[in-house]
A and B are shown apart, each in its own frame.
Chain A
Amino acid sequence: MMNKASAVSNSNLSPAPGGEAIRSHFWQNLVAAGIFLAWNASFLIMSFALPPGHSRGDVGPGSLPMQVSIFGLIVSTVYLIQVLRGMDLGGSSDKIDVPRVAGLLGLFIAVALSANWIGLALCLGIGTGVATLLFPGQKPFVRALATGVGFWVIAYGLFGKLLELPLP
């Protein structure tokens, strides 16, 4: 997957000339590498705060987290170097469909948050019904109603009553 960026002078730190997709992969991977470096660095710092082991020979509760975060820092650095050298490590070529993805996720966060107020089964019924409207298709309102009622019945009847799940 090596592209020609590294072969071109002064281009080691810039995205490869290979179209919009590869350029967007560069930034996506750069951000991801940064996030993983930050995650591992903060994990390492927190590991130092853990107490040492008490038994003889025990390396203590902080030992493995420390080793894991050092390993994570090393592989994240290798990842960052590969990205900066212009290697296309893959990524999304399409833009995220924010309204739909955020809509579906937001709906189910709302379901979880409101479960304690009006009950999880009813929330799921309403949530699933409304969520189907985010998808294209014929007779959206009929589909929404059927899906909502269907999932309310499943949640309340099957899980709440039959499996005796103590739904909020």
Chain B
Amino acid sequence: MDGILQSLGVIFSFSGLAVLIIGALLGIVIGALPGLGPSIGLSLLIPFTYNLGPELSMLMMISLYTSAEYGGSISAILLSTPGTAAAAATAIDGYAMARKGKANEAISISLTASTVGGVFGGLALLLLAMPLASLALKFGPAGYFAVGVFGLTSVAALSGGSLVKGLVCAAFGLALATIGIDPIAGTPRFTFGLFELYEGVPFLAALIGLFAVSEALVMIENRVAAAPVIKDKVGHVFMSGALWKETWRSMLSGSVIGTLLGILPGVGGNIACWVARDYARARDPHPEEYGHGSANGIAAPEASNNATVGGALVPLLALGVPGSPTTAIMVGALIMHGLHPGPQLFTEAPSLVYAILFGTIIASLVQYAAGSLFLPLMARVMRLPDAVIAVGIMAFAVLGAFAIRNLMFDVYLMLGFGVVGYLMKKLRFPVAPIVLAMVLGYLVESNYRTALVSSQGDYMIFITDPVSLLFLVLSLVSLLTPLWRALQARRARRIDVDEAANGTVR
């Protein structure tokens, strides 16, 4: 009870509300700028939140994360260019509606649906995180090792087009995670005598380089012709009663879909938005309106991508396993504050946990207020020239990398990771598996070795421990499912080719 009161005290203090509002404004701007997203925003923000303390720091990050999911829809509606991948489905009906001169209406649906989805996801987090965490507290090291392995299998979902490229990146990330003093024996590994590497590769420097610097380098090359900008004046964002009546079902179904998919490792708003749109379309009496400016075509994906925020925080808080690059970054922030995410956080830092639980709901409401009040200003931010955005990213990246440990070494490392990230993006390598593997590497190794020490070297502990067995089986299923699907698709293609060839011969 003390934890709840303390957390509410932090949230409703002047600083609490200030960080929520600042986070919301930054999130909307970052989400609205095409190419940037919550991952880049958080990676640039984290180093500067160090002085805030864990509660305020997490509140700011959650607020940014939530609002960036909504912000992506602004450019999707006005420019037909989704600011984030999770707003891709919104662009179809949002831009179509805006072209009809209803940009304001489209944004009002997006903001309301995002808020509904965010609150729903937050409530789900509040209800699910605690029971799951108390269950997870009973896990032994073998169980935790298997949970970590399960988290790693989300690489399959984050790999994009090529599973093998995702796995190569995961191996690279795991290798990076082993650099530094090892967690059991205290032996320095692969440090080459550099004391800066004794604590391991600074995760945040790597993150800023891989996500932010690489994006700035890509940005300097881009000369893509954009769709015509909708120059409607964007003013109020309040939804009419008729629109509420028309869209509430889609908002609700989108919220449920987003929350459930957000909990699954590797599945985020970018998948949830399409699933929610398809579901809403299938149940809509007027499916023909989709693609031509349907209100439900905006409400469903927007509710779902914001609901994934609460969903994604469930495994992070309950098990300590991030299921997405954005939540992996939040792990980095907790580690920066000397905390390790997981069920033990509920007893070690209850006020922080409750701040996250309640903060997720409040952040959605703050996003609504900030989004309503500052929308005309936000619409103007999108007109910032690429030059200013790209050099801004670089400048904040340098400052952020330096702020982590006040070492220029981290700046050089960050720039190095920027080059690696840029080349990987050019070669279509997914960078998210690297980040996930870097975060989970410690969890996997420390528990793997602790489990073996406790069993005196008997590997059967991973089979005899029921939790470990369950998660290892789930990991196998999670990894083999995409492979099986790929094989099925290949077989189907081969049959098609054979049939076509036979038809030609005949």
Contacts and interface: CB of A to CB of B under 8 A. Distances in A.
Interface stretch (B75-83, B88-96, B179-187, B346-354): B179-187
A143 B385 contact: yes
Nearest to A75: B167
Given A56-B457, A112-B411, A163 B490 contact: no
B427 interface: yes
Interface stretch (B3-11, B225-233, B318-326, B418-426): B418-426
B189 interface: yes
B391 A63 contact: no
Nearest to B486: A1
A65 B449 CA distance: 13
A157 B25 CA distance: 21
B171 interface: yes
A117 to B, nearest CB: 12
A91 to B, nearest CB: 5
Residue from A90, A94, A116 having most chain B Cβ neighbours under 10 A: A90
Contacts of A5: none
Contacts of A100: 220-221
Given A2-B493, A104-B216, A124 B398 contact: yes
Contact of B387 (A1, A75, A124, A143): A143
B457 A57 contact: yes
B185 A58 contact: yes
Interface residues of A, number: 72
Interface string A79-92: 10010000001111
B220 A54 contact: no
Contact of B174 (A68, A108, A134, A155): A68
B15 interface: no
Contact of A71 (B171, B221, B411): B171
A143 B445 CA distance: 50
Contacts, number: 199
Given A112-B415, A167-B402, A104 B185 contact: no
B425 to A, nearest CB: 9
Interface residues of B, number: 62
A163 B45 CA distance: 13
B381 to A, nearest CB: 14
A10 interface: no
Contacts of A154: 395
Nearest to A160: B399
Interface stretch (B26-34, B98-106, B114-122, B157-165): B157-165
Interface string A122-158: 0010011001101101000001000100010011000
B175 A166 contact: no
Interface in A87-105: 89-92, 94, 96-97, 100-101, 104-105
A118 interface: no
Contacts of B444: 64
A36 B190 CA distance: 17
Nearest to A135: B387
A55 interface: yes
8 contacts: A39-B172, A46-B190, A97-B221, A104-B216, A109-B412, A147-B387, A151-B391, A166-B406
Closest 7 CB pairs of A and B: A135-B387, A72-B171, A90-B428, A57-B457, A61-B182, A92-B426, A57-B456
Interface of B: 48, 51, 161-162, 164-165, 167-168, 171-172, 174-175, 178, 182, 184-185, 187, 189-190, 216-217, 220-221, 385-388, 390-392, 394-395, 398-399, 402-403, 406, 408, 411-412, 415, 418-419, 422, 426-429, 441, 444-445, 448-449, 452-458, 490, 493
